[in-house]
Structure 1
Amino acid sequence: MKHLIALAQREPFSEITIARLGRELGVVPSLIHYFLGSRDDMMSLVLNHALKELAELSPPLSGVWRADAEAHLRQAYETLLKWRGITSYMAEQNKYRIFQNVSPGEVDFGLVFYDRMGRIFQTGGFTSEDSARAYHLLMHFLTSITRADVLKLEPAAQRETLRTHVEQFPVSDYPGARFMIEAFTNLDSKHTFESGLTLLLDGFERWRAQSI
């Protein structure tokens, strides 16, 4: 389990197979399968471990919806960046993105996070419909931002290439591109996350005001 977790924190889960684990641990693949189950079971096991870490690091709910949302989402952002191997998987796969496949008596920490976000919006006076929309938008945003960081898709990671491409053309041909390129290529995931989170929560606050 420790070896699997270490791999999932630094490598794409698509590269972690039962055969590879068996080879690196010096055991037959059937033994890995016996103790950890199928590859899907392993994925859920790793995700639940990461989500348990998120639950343990997130502060208790204060009853102030915006402060609680910011705290939990910032911790989720940091956790997904640490677990780099599963971040891209979550952006591309539907299975186990929200809830985990746990044995009877075990805690589904995906459900724990989902429940906490629901309670944050419920306490804040949001309708169930607005709460659901807000959660869905936030998860799309969070997944997109962390995947971009892990795969180095942020503009700052391609600064020189982007600037060189735009600057080879006369300013008069593409004035809008030249106008934005300097600021655009300074954007990294942290700045994008913070500004995007503020915009989203501001929008949710307007929803809340309309429903009160």
Structure 2
Amino acid sequence: MAAKVLIVDDEVAIRRLLRNTLERAGHQVVEARDGRDALALAAAEHPDAVLLDLGLPDRDGLGLVPLLRGDGQRVLLVVSARDATEEKVAALDLGADDYVTKPFDTDELLARLRVALRHRGSGSAAAPIVHAGELAIDLDRRRVTRAGEELHLTRKEYDVLALLAQHVGRVVTHDRIIAAAWGGDEDPRIEYLRIVVRNLRGKLEAPLPVGSVIANELGVGYRLRGEG
């Protein structure tokens, strides 16, 4: 899926690396070195996606996340050397589609971008059936199968999996999962979420390695692995 991508980074070497990577993948690229340029180019060029560094010379990149996402149809990936859990959670809660930490693997970055673009291109509503490897999650019928065999999940297990399926390939924060699966009716402690995910992995992943279906983003949330 070719796209116009706005790179926002004050480091020339990083912009050059990203431009070469993106153009080899067939994308069109525009560049901004600070927040002011980024906002101006976003308005003039209407990019499909933004790769945003947080350490900009004129303002903190976190404040740009909701501004650069536009109407919500634009993909935004944070690409930053900041690796603190609080920074990642804040960016995702503000609307970033994903968070890639520098130094990054260019193939992984392209895969993350591809997943986010595909999700945006399919519209805001998730596909009725989401596939992740041998797993098929029928969101309309609340039915989960692996290699054609139906799996029996508890209500909480399904609620957690369904939310991850609606954002397949992208990290969903702990707080967002807890709010969706527990609401305000029960004590939403993160220990409960960990127990549910552990039980889910036992049903979805065995005999595969732990994390082969549901990946853990340490201190941030979980990601349902999908095709990149």
TM-score (norm 1): 0.30
Which has the larger strand fraction?
2
Structure number with the bigger relative contact order (C-alpha 8 A, sep ≥ 6) is: 1
Which has the larger helix fraction?
1
